[in-house]
Chain A
Amino acid sequence: MAYSDKVIDHYTNPRNVGTLDKSKNNVGTGLVGAPECGDVMRLQIEVDSNNVITDAKFKTFGCGSAIASSSLATEWLKGKSIDDAITIDNMDIVEELALPPVKIHCSVLAEDAIKAAINDYRVKNGLAPIESEKSHH
């Protein structure tokens, strides 16, 4: 299966690989997937007092498309407000990376990771988690 140039670019030069201090109150962490499924994504965001994401980091265990999806997600998250970030849809990732149907689950996982990170941040700061309106499961 041939990967798109954008997937190869993100895979070869992943953006924002790393770890934020998950104990900090302004850091939200999303850990989704499972080793036995062959995909685990950890996505972290750091949020300022205006609810704007100032930093985003990821680490991913998975195929090239999973790594590219999470790398792209961190790029998109930086500078976005929490409210805008929550609207990122997996199909936006599919389109940007030209993922084939068999790799759509990678984008779903990235969307789940974004929502999980935002909710982790919300819960830490006394806000109710946002329920996902659609279920991919």
Chain B
Amino acid sequence: MKIPVYLDNNATTPMDPRVLEAMLPYFTEKFGNAASRNHAFGWAAEEGVDYAREQVAQLIGANEKEIIFTSGATEGDNLGIKGVFEMYQDKGNHIITCTTEHKAVLDTCKHLEKQGARVTYLDVKSDGLIDLKELEAAMTPQTILVCIMYGNNEIGVIQPVKEIAAIAHKHGALFMTDGTQAVGKIPVNVDTDGIDLMAFTGHKMYGPKGVGALYVRRKNPRVKVTAQMDGGGHERGMRSGTLNVAGIVGFGKAAEICRLEMDSEAKRLSALRNKLQSSLLELEESYVNGNVENRLPHVANISFKYVEGEGLMMAMKDLAVSSGSACTSASLEPSYVLKSLGLSDDLAHSSIRFGLGRFTTEEEVDYAIEVTKKAVNHLRDLSPLWEMFKEGIDLDKVEWVEH
């Protein structure tokens, strides 16, 4: 077992060696520009891109013509939301999203608000899922887009995508989803799910960084987005810029591996995740954040009350995990996602996200359990809050001297 152990697979994944192998020829031998239509170098590159486009489309049950390659999910989110807003301005200006979306969605919506968009940010329930009745109530004749993520990056909860799509369509709006965390991990099918647009990315599914895609539906209905970058008219005019051929080939290979291995991988990872989770819940005053039934198989977000997340991570320095505490950021604000679930600031500060992946072994999970338990106990020995809790003092009734 190599130390440190990587359990932050929601941030990024290591590239699968099979992906690297597929990419290598496209840096040196097949280096052509996929848009060069008049010589063999261009044809070889184009062939690689076309094949990858099919591989990516197949993973999500789409037609290859519906795949627009981008630099990643952030660009896909921007292109999808801004592109729909500009394209469908005549129809309306209302967009519905939710408070636990990634910043690539939230900040894009905030940007559009300055351009005349009206945006509804739905709250989530304490389990992290949106309330479908609230969505229904928020729909108006001016609603052009409902944008709700598939799987959440911090807590892993899976939104009821099919039901959301049905509500959007019933009111004549398009449904877009940020599929970054879900695609390649769980079955995602744009037809059965009713998805009109979806952003996702290669590096969360064992592919390279810097390449992603926006799925844009071509039939029932035919969806169009206004390009956000002007240039050579690549990607059916929706995304100009010379294609990242090697990256796209890698993304395609990664998609193919995910499609073929998803079922067995998800089973293996959810068993490991459940072992990790149930072992850590043996610690007193520890809680899982988010809905545990509708959740990605490889994620567990757990709060350890009375210890602070960043301090905890320091004691777990041989484990690469992520904390909901933002003690390192200038704002000192804990995770907005956890706060949206109604978690108090102190519980949000005390949370750790464990993200397992394709290369996570049982030995590593056992190690993570041991290290985490030791760290929590060490920090509780140091924690005045733990001592007060043990003495039966109600911490909510203490008058704290904030600084």
Chain A positions near chain B (C-beta within 8 angstroms): 1, 3, 11, 14, 17, 19, 31-42, 59-64, 66-67, 102, 105, 108-109, 112, 116, 136-137
Contact = CB atoms under 8 A, between A and B. Distances in A.
A19 B384 CA distance: 9
Contacts of B309: 38
Contact of A39 (B308, B329, B344, B387): B308
B401 A59 contact: no
B330 interface: yes
Contacts of A36: 344-346, 349, 400
A19 B387 contact: yes
B249 to A, nearest CB: 36
Interface in B273-295: none
B251 interface: no
A11 B314 contact: yes
Contacts of B381: 17
A8 to B, nearest CB: 8
A36 B398 CA distance: 12
Contact of A64 (B307, B314, B334): B314
A67 B311 contact: yes
B403 A38 contact: no
Interface of B: 306-311, 314-315, 325, 327-330, 332, 334, 344-346, 349, 379, 381-387, 395, 400-403
A136 B402 CA distance: 11
Contact of B334 (A3, A38, A62, A63): A38
Given A14-B382, A41-B384, A42-B384, A3 B314 contact: yes
Given A38-B334, A40-B385, A41-B384, A62 B400 contact: no
Given A14-B382, A61-B308, A105 B403 contact: yes
Contacts of A59: 382-384, 387
A15 B346 CA distance: 25
A4 to B, nearest CB: 12
B382 A35 contact: no
9 contacts: A31-B401, A37-B402, A38-B332, A39-B308, A40-B384, A61-B306, A61-B382, A63-B308, A64-B310
B403 A31 contact: no
Contact of B400 (A40, A67, A105): A40
A60 B309 CA distance: 13
Contacts of B382: 14, 17, 59-61, 67
A136 B328 CA distance: 19
A59 B332 CA distance: 21
Contact of B311 (A42, A64, A108, A112): A64
Contact of A108 (B314, B329, B403): B403
Contacts of A19: 387
A104 to B, nearest CB: 11
The 5 nearest A-B residue pairs measured at CB: A36-B345, A34-B400, A35-B346, A42-B384, A59-B384
Given A35-B346, A38-B308, A38-B325, A136 B385 contact: no
Contacts of A1: 328
Given A62-B311, A64-B311, A38 B384 contact: no
A91 B337 CA distance: 35
Contacts of B401: 31-34, 112, 116
Nearest to A35: B346
Given A1-B328, A39-B327, A102-B328, 6 more contacts: A31-B401, A35-B346, A36-B345, A38-B325, A38-B349, A116-B401
Nearest to A1: B328
Nearest to B381: A17
A64 B379 CA distance: 10
